[in-house]
Amino acid sequence: MRNNREIVPTDVPRIPAAWRWRSLLSIVQEDRGISYGVVQPGDGDVLGIPIVRADNVRDGHINVDSVLRISRGIESKYARTRLRGGEVLLTLVGAYFGKATVAPPELTGWNVARAVAVIPVISDIEPEWVTYCLRSPMIQKYIQNWATTTAQPTLNLRDVAQLPIPLPPPRERRLVVEFLDALERKLALNSATNATIEKIAGTIFESWFVDSDPDQSQASEPVAFDSIATISRESVNPAEYPTESFDHYSIPAFDQGRLPIVEIGEHIKSNKFVVQEDSVLLSKLNPRIPRIWMPLLSGSRRAICSTEFLVIEPRGVSSREYLYGLCSSQSFLYAFAMMVTGTSGSHQRVKPEYLQKMPVAVPTEFGLRKYTELVRPLHAKVAQNLRECSILSALRDAILPKLVSGTIRFKELETVVEANA
């Protein structure tokens, strides 16, 4: 009779003869088990212990740009989920539900929030392999189907424990992990390069239009925001075009890697704003987390975005590049965040009419032209890297489910890569 730890669902797919199915619980360190983290983090403590929340977790990495720190007293009650590096993290609740990654060594000593499960895999099995399995459609099917959805999707730990994990022989696992990790590293490198490029462009903007000597400034007297930009409210209901594919710019897509998700109309349930080629997208939701997007339109599909974005287009003495630099500047972001309405910390928004009245620097015609000419090649490089990321992501997403299910064995991988190149 099998141990309860080893029971897996009866409807698991067929896998190669040399592989075996194991429950997630059966490959976890028994002394630690599977746990979720801090239930009530309190008001935060700037000198406290950082915790990983669900919105920090992306498939494949952790975003530490906006991290909550909690008091050491509260954190000390959750030693079981204190990170040592190498644990699998799985989000259990909310908008970022079902995301998986591995805790890197540099997060040793951190903890996690209630919405994140800590899964310490035994040393014989690569945590990266488990993460790739959890991210695959084959296992995501169980995660999505087993979730309760009364208010928001939630997965219980007892269901997490029973998630089925396919285990190939160790050598094959390692080869697959090495290949997929190489793709992830290239994606991470492109993202880091883009962050550096945008920091350079931001520094140029600040030095020309914000912090410059008045005698050398390329900005004239401040004007209302609506003097240099319009906020487009053109919308479309994608459900009326059920078979059409759209480039969908959403908040989760931005957070995942600033690449739109291609979705057909029947899967998009509400009205969306239309995105034009010269648009800049500025999130009005929780502006303490800056989300400024310069869309990269495919040309073959209509582009739409969440109504949580403001679709900004240049007018008068302005350009797309200038608006992006302005909306990304620290002075703008501080003033924008001060305009929020709503009492809930997780759902604060800025009304468009407040933004329209905000006083902002307006460039001189000479300054606008020179700035746009200077930063346009930088934004072109960012766009090039994003296109490459799109191709690599598509390749990864095409190969991942086949590799973790054994549909394609590693020796056949080169043929598949060539077919998707």
- Domain ranges, residue 351: 220-360
Assigned domain for 384 exists:
no
The owner of tokens 């949580």 is: 308
What pLDDT score does 2 carry? 45
What pLDDT score does 415 carry? 59
**Do 161 and 12 share a structural domain?**
yes
Residue 223 and residue 209 in contact, taking contact as beta carbons nearer than 8 Å: no
What pLDDT score does 66 carry? 82
What pLDDT score does 351 carry? 94
Q: What is the DSSP-derived secondary structure letter of residue 208? A: I
**Do 316 and 237 share a structural domain?**
yes
Assigned domain for 207 exists:
no
**Do 264 and 327 share a structural domain?**
yes
What pLDDT score does 358 carry? 94
Assigned domain for 206 exists:
no
**Do 148 and 21 share a structural domain?**
yes
**Do 226 and 163 share a structural domain?**
no
What pLDDT score does 214 carry? 54
Report the distance separating Cα 136 and Cα 24, nearest Å: 15
The owner of tokens 């591995």 is: 102
Beta-ladder partners of 367 = none
User: Given 337, 360, 383, which residue is the final one in a domain?
Assistant: 360
Assigned domain for 50 exists:
yes
What pLDDT score does 361 carry? 83
**Do 31 and 162 share a structural domain?**
yes
What pLDDT score does 1 carry? 35
C-alpha distance from residue 179 to each of 45, 262, 389 (Å) = 40, 25, 16
Report the distance separating Cα 102 and Cα 114, nearest Å: 17
User: Given 167, 185, 209, which residue is the final one in a domain?
Assistant: 167
pTM of the model: 0.81
Predicted confidence pLDDT, tens digits, the chain (421 residues)? 345 566 778 899 999 999 999 999 999 999 999 999 999 998 889 999 999 999 899 878 898 888 999 999 999 999 999 999 999 999 999 878 999 999 999 999 999 999 999 999 999 999 999 999 999 999 999 999 999 877 788 999 999 999 999 999 999 999 999 999 999 999 999 999 999 999 999 999 988 888 765 555 566 678 899 999 999 999 999 999 999 999 999 998 998 888 899 999 999 989 999 999 999 999 999 898 899 999 988 888 999 999 999 999 999 889 999 999 999 999 999 999 999 986 555 678 999 999 999 999 888 888 899 999 999 999 999 999 999 998 999 899 999 999 999 988 766 665 555 555 5
Q: Count up the domains in the chain and report the number.
A: 2
Quick one: tokens of 369?
């032209």
**Do 133 and 56 share a structural domain?**
yes
What CATH number corresponds to the domain at position 314? 3.90.220.20
User: Given 135, 167, 199, which residue is the final one in a domain?
Assistant: 167
Assigned domain for 163 exists:
yes
Task: Please provide the DSSP assignment of 324-377 as one string.
Answer: HHHHHSHHHHHHHHTTEE-S-TTS-EE-HHHHHH-EEEEE-HHHHHHHHHHHHH
- Residue 203's H or E segment, with its range, is helix 170-205
**Do 143 and 32 share a structural domain?**
yes
